[in-house]
Amino acid sequence: MNLNTIQNYIFHKLDRPLFGALILILIIGLINLISANHQDISNTISHIVNIIIGIIFLYVTCNIQTRTILVFAPWTYSIGIFLLIYVNLFGIESHGAQRWINLGIFNLQPSEILKISLPLMLAWFYQKCASKINYRVHFIAGLLIFLPFYLVTTQPDLGTSLLILFGGLTIIFLAGLPTKFIISSFIGLLISSPFIWNSLLNYQKERILSLIDPFSDPYGAGYHSIQSMIAVGHGGIFGRGWLNGEQTNLRFLPETTTDFVFSVFSEEFGFFGVLAIISIYIFMFYRCMWMVSKMQDTFSRLAAAGLTISLFVSLIVNIGMISGILPVVGVPLPFFSYGGSSMVVSLISIGIIMNLYSNKSLIAN
């Protein structure tokens, strides 16, 4: 075996363009995090560890039998739901929400697991019912979505629960929910929106209201939004330079390593830096969707599309949030934010998409 064959053997299932772009983003994210965590070495090291663990998971999920993923889909979903219930009862509280389970070496965030297991579960379910997809099937799919959505909402973590809901609904949409039904339920939603508003918690209402005019409450709900926009705007065309973001260094910017990690990047690297990162993300998104379009079976298509959409919806929500066009809902930026669960889950999602693509013909029919 020559070197080329070994390379081919190791990497034959990895989609090289996607993986290349991913590595690029991870490296930029790492460099940015050094600035965002105020050059805290231990923080940086644990971010590197998260990346390495995530890459290993990606490699493993990319190379396992596709059938295994299919078989395990209902199990991951059940385990995810169980953990969600568990976290609601015994989880660690932080910022007024229960989101983590303490596993000794690290804290697990079960709602992140649902970002993978829900698309897999739905895809598995539609695969099972592929021959006779009707309203009953869509309704059961809806229940499968509603269960984790409800559990995450009660943590309370509105941002993540909406992402789960949206990811799930797009799968139903792709599975062929009739257009008539979509339009009529959309109208129904509009009519019931006042009632939904009333059921929101105060802090959620405040966050949404502060979006409309963040400056109306600059020291309360709007504070994060304003400080983030100041950091972004301060960056200008070319940015303040790496490690030189004043808003970051002087700690005006909140949550610099997680939710507002991209504000740090925007201040230090400016509009061109932002343009570069968004371009890489667009490329990755486009590549993923292209891969979906090449897949042959319902499970692969729906699972891969669901995972892609989950990833990139949180990406758009996060960037929209830090630039002040979306409310501050606490959604991390995939591949960029600090946080083990999010990093590993995002990389596993990419691994599964690559796996499904490389096996595009294996489980067909």
Torsion of CA 155, 156, 159, 161, to 10 degrees: 50
Residue 55's alpha-carbon distances to 73, 230, 268, in angstroms, are 21, 34, 27
Picking from 349, 352, 346, 354, the residue whose alpha carbon sits closest to that of residue 51 is 346
Q: Which is nearer to other proteins, 204 or 308 (CB)?
A: 308
CB 30 to other proteins: min, Å: 22
108 beta partners:
101
CB 308 to other proteins: min, Å: 9
The three-class DSSP label of residue 327 is: coil
CB 340 to other proteins: min, Å: 27
Which residues contact other proteins (rule: CB under 8 A)?
Answer: 130, 170, 173-174, 176, 227, 229-237, 246-247, 250-252, 266, 270-271, 274-275, 278, 281-282, 285-286, 289, 292-293, 297-298, 301, 305, 309, 312, 316, 319-320, 323-325, 365
Q: Which is nearer to other proteins, 159 or 270 (CB)?
A: 270
CB 139 to other proteins: min, Å: 19
Query: What does the DSSP assignment read for 194-240?
Result: HHHHHHS-HHHHHHHHHHH-GGGSTTTTTHHHHHHHHHHHHHTTT-S
CB 105 to other proteins: min, Å: 29
CB 98 to other proteins: min, Å: 25
Q: Which is nearer to other proteins, 323 or 358 (CB)?
A: 323
CB 177 to other proteins: min, Å: 9
Q: Which is nearer to other proteins, 188 or 218 (CB)?
A: 218
Q: Which is nearer to other proteins, 57 or 125 (CB)?
A: 125
What residues contact residue 302 under an 8 Å CB cut-off, 6+ apart? 119, 122, 123, 126, 127, 171, 174, 175
Query: What does the DSSP assignment read for 266-310?
Result: HHHHHHHHHHHHHHHHHHHHHHHHHHHHH--SHHHHHHHHHHHHH
Q: Amino acid identity, residue 1?
A: M
Q: Which is nearer to other proteins, 142 or 320 (CB)?
A: 320
Q: Which is nearer to other proteins, 231 or 348 (CB)?
A: 231
Is residue 284 a contact partner of residue 249, using CB atoms and an 8 Å limit?
no
DSSP letter at 330 equals -
